Structure 1
Amino acid sequence: MSNKFIAVELFSGGGGLAVGLRNAKFSVAAAVELAPHAAATFAANHKGVRVFQQDVRTVGGKSLKKVAGGKIDLLAACPPCQGFSSLTSKYAREDERNDLVLEVGRLAAEMKPAAIMMENVPGLAHRGKKLLDQLVRKLKSIGYIVNWDVLQVADFGVPQLRRRFVLLAGLGFEIKLPKPTHARVPIGKLKPYRTVRDAIGHLDGAITFTEAKDRGGAARFNWHVVRTLSPENVIRLKLAKPGAQGQELPEHVRPSCHQNGYKGFSNVYGRLSWDQPSATITAGCTTLSKGRFGHPKEQRTISLREAALLQTFPANYKFDTEHMERACEIVGNALPCLFAEVIARQCRLAIAKQTKSAPRQKPRARVSRAKAGKALAERIGAAGRTSKTNRPAKKRAR
């Protein structure tokens, strides 16, 4: 039997989760991802993994289990979260992708992996509570013990403030959520939060995406590229203080829609601070109007590569697209690799403990053919002698 821990991914994105799984000593056998640029990026960085570029609703558990060799230790899933996100909470319409959360339960029932890990935005526990309850009931009905909570990724060494919903389930056994290793104010064995400086302090001199295209493409510059700022945003960035909210800018330089007592998004048109974790990295990570994505010192936003490092992607991770927008989506939608590793390791340890404690049948002793034949002959001979002994005596004729 193989000693490898085998994982299958759903909604795999560009492979950030797979980096964490690999670092936690899982071998990823298959991944399901619909978006072409994300699927191509996954394949470019994770050779040997079978990528199903299709809607997860069209994938059967039998197909995934076959690719995995018939045994799946971990089913890892990151369903689309936009419908539950606080960024979309002001919109009343339902996102048609919300029901995809239930596909985790369907495929779990079809494949029966030893463990399940699923992540999403915190809103799943509130806006998506009906779907979450339905999923948990499904998992419990087929034998899983379920734990879930909302965790802060900065508490586990990620240089970014980002709260994530995490669900862990073991088939007949419990998988406990991990305990924090870092804190804003460390006490005891806890380490201080990792900062923007820790992650990107060694980088400088990004070029614009337009210039990179003219000089061979963004990949040639390891995606250390930024968007061209408008004249208005140049002024705003000059006035922005590191770590401050956009609302602290003088009102006359803010967009007109952000004036006169604006109460909306406050985390825009701002700069990151060197000595704090970054704001949450999103698909708008290189756009000043979509978050606090200004560089702590330079007159630019953070680059795509810097955003990836704040998401704890490897420094040489490839992005298989020619489009800035698609690359930003891959980075911003990813589960931070280090956080994925922490959660996956928690699963692996629980699986290993369960496997070790499971009762084992004693193997039957092997008997050579010669010995087996001799034993059979002896039994036949014994049976013959017994039958003669027990045969009634013949009566003598008188």
Structure 2
Amino acid sequence: MREPLAVDLFSGAGGLSLGLKAAGFKVAAGVEMDRLASQTYALNNPDAITINDDIRNVSAWKLKKDIGRRISLLAACPPCQGFTSLTSKFRRDDPRNDLPSEVIRFARILKPKAIMFENVPRFLTSARGKSRFDLVKRELEALDYKVTYCILQAADFGSSQFRRRLVVFAASSEIEPPKPTHAQTASGDIAAWRTVKDKIGALGPAEPFQPGKLSAPRPLAEWHVVRRLSDLNQRRLEAAVPDGARWDLPDELRPACHVGSSTGFRNVYGRMSWERPSPTITGGCTSPSKGRFGHPEVARTISVREAGLLQDFPDDYIVDAEGQIDRACEMIGNAFPARLAEAAARQVMATL
């Protein structure tokens, strides 16, 4: 029996495809607009068709012909930035917010047996996202799919990271949400959450990033690098309490806009705790001002390698960022954690 085929839309650097393959799918194609993410995807998925283009320019009919047989799963992770809480204060509508409709266009032509769609929870719960969620749901139901959805926590499925994601399933019969395999406290068949220490505690010292040194595609293990911090940011991380809030810092170490305030984003200039999963890894994962990205023990941020491992990328995963630390962080931070992707994809596999 041939492996069931999957297509990965908005594939990024390939986190979702890692999970699809672990669940038993053969990934036939990945579509990604960003050049470096697409190059990274191709290096790690040499047997897949890799399309580097705006998805709105991609012919679903041509892709169907190139694949040559019916696919079992159409998987998609449309950009979520327009729906996140970090951007909710801006009233302007992000033009990427309409990209989920491209999943419907491909579904009409590829006619997959099942569809798996991932986004941030606010795609379901915010006014801006809910209207688009309802449209996608109606369109899938019009194609005779039964639609189910759930909000899942990556840490509950073996990732060493807190990351909540909305997962939408569509198939000829209802697909049940996966059952958690991990929890804060172990009990019976449920293991304890994997912690930051479990994932990166044994790694050695990180090196300061040197522009140009990683200009060629290199495995993630070689990206054990961090940004050089200003003296002030160094002092902030030295003073930060693991798993504490930014208002734990004394006023003299706070940015001017934070002095005297104990409201707003609590994680900036924070440090992770060894004993818990990490906070959500984002594209700002090596910048202390972007979140709780301080190392639990050393006065530095986590390294690019550590961020990748917390996002479920293996050490031998090839990263092609052309020596740009910002781009490496973006590719890692934008990925769908592979362990969560695998758990969701196994639910699809069970219905085929």
TM-score by length of 1: 0.85
CA distance in 2, matches of 1:206, 1:217: 19
CA distance in 1, matches of 2:242, 2:217: 27
Measure how far apart 1:184 and its partner are: 0.9
Q: Look up the match of 2:78.
A: 79
8 Å Cα contact 2:216-2:320 kept in structure 1:
no
Aligned to 1:346, what secondary structure does the other structure show?
helix
Higher helix proportion: 1
Q: Does 1:61 align with 2:77?
A: no
Q: Does 1:240 align with 2:240?
A: yes
CA distance in 2, matches of 1:218, 1:11: 21
Q: 1:214 to 1:18 in 2, by over 3 A?
A: closer
Aligned to 1:31, what secondary structure does the other structure show?
strand
CA distance in 1, matches of 2:186, 2:134: 35
Give per-residue Cα distances to partners, 1:120-142, cap 9 Å, x unaligned. 11110023000010000000011
Q: Does 1:270 align with 2:270?
A: yes
8 Å Cα contact 1:285-1:293 kept in structure 2:
yes
Give per-residue Cα distances to partners, 1:236-275, cap 9 Å, x unaligned. 0111111112221112211111112252211110111111
- Structure 1: stretches of 5+ with no match in the other structure: 352-398
Which structure has more RCO (C-alpha within 8 Å, separation ≥ 6)?
Answer: 2
CA distance in 2, matches of 1:119, 1:276: 25
Q: Does 1:140 align with 2:152?
A: no
Q: Look up the match of 1:306.
A: 306
Matched AA of 1:283: G
Aligned to 1:12, what secondary structure does the other structure show?
coil
Q: Look up the match of 2:163.
A: 162
User: 1:231-380 counterparts in 2 under 5 A?
Assistant: 231-321=231-321, 322-351=323-352
Give per-residue Cα distances to partners, 1:314-366, cap 9 Å, x unaligned. 11111111211111000000000111111111111111xxxxxxxxxxxxxxx
Measure how far apart 1:217 and its partner are: 7.1
Identical counterparts, % of pairs:
49
Aligned to 1:86, what secondary structure does the other structure show?
coil
Give per-residue Cα distances to partners, 1:202-225, cap 9 Å, x unaligned. 112111112x64598794861001
Q: Look up the match of 1:391.
A: none
CA distance in 1, matches of 2:58, 2:214: 41
8 Å Cα contact 1:8-1:64 kept in structure 2:
no
Q: Does 1:40 align with 2:20?
A: no
Aligned to 1:88, what secondary structure does the other structure show?
coil
CA distance in 1, matches of 2:84, 2:243: 23
CA distance in 2, matches of 1:317, 1:182: 25
CA distance in 1, matches of 2:119, 2:135: 16
CA distance in 2, matches of 1:216, 1:24: 33
Matched AA of 1:315: D
Measure how far apart 1:70 and its partner are: 2.2
Give per-residue Cα distances to partners, 1:157-207, cap 9 Å, x unaligned. 11101100100111x212111011111133332111000011101112111
Give per-residue Cα distances to partners, 1:58-110, cap 9 Å, x unaligned. 22222222222221000000000000001111111110000001111111111
Aligned to 1:278, what secondary structure does the other structure show?
coil
From the CA coordinates, give the structure whose radius of gyration is larger. 1
TM-score by length of 2: 0.96
- Structure 2: stretches of 5+ with no match in the other structure: none
Matched AA of 1:177: P
Q: 1:34 to 1:219 in 2, by over 3 A?
A: same
Q: Look up the match of 1:123.
A: 122
Task: Find runs of 4+ consecutive structure 1 residues off by over 6 angstroms.
Answer: 215-218
8 Å Cα contact 1:239-1:249 kept in structure 2:
yes
Q: Look up the match of 2:177.
A: 177
Q: 1:140 to 1:40 in 2, by over 3 A?
A: same
Matched AA of 1:94: D
8 Å Cα contact 2:149-2:169 kept in structure 1:
yes
8 Å Cα contact 2:217-2:318 kept in structure 1:
no
CA distance in 1, matches of 2:265, 2:215: 37
CA distance in 2, matches of 1:217, 1:252: 42
CA distance in 2, matches of 1:189, 1:58: 47
8 Å Cα contact 2:156-2:182 kept in structure 1:
yes
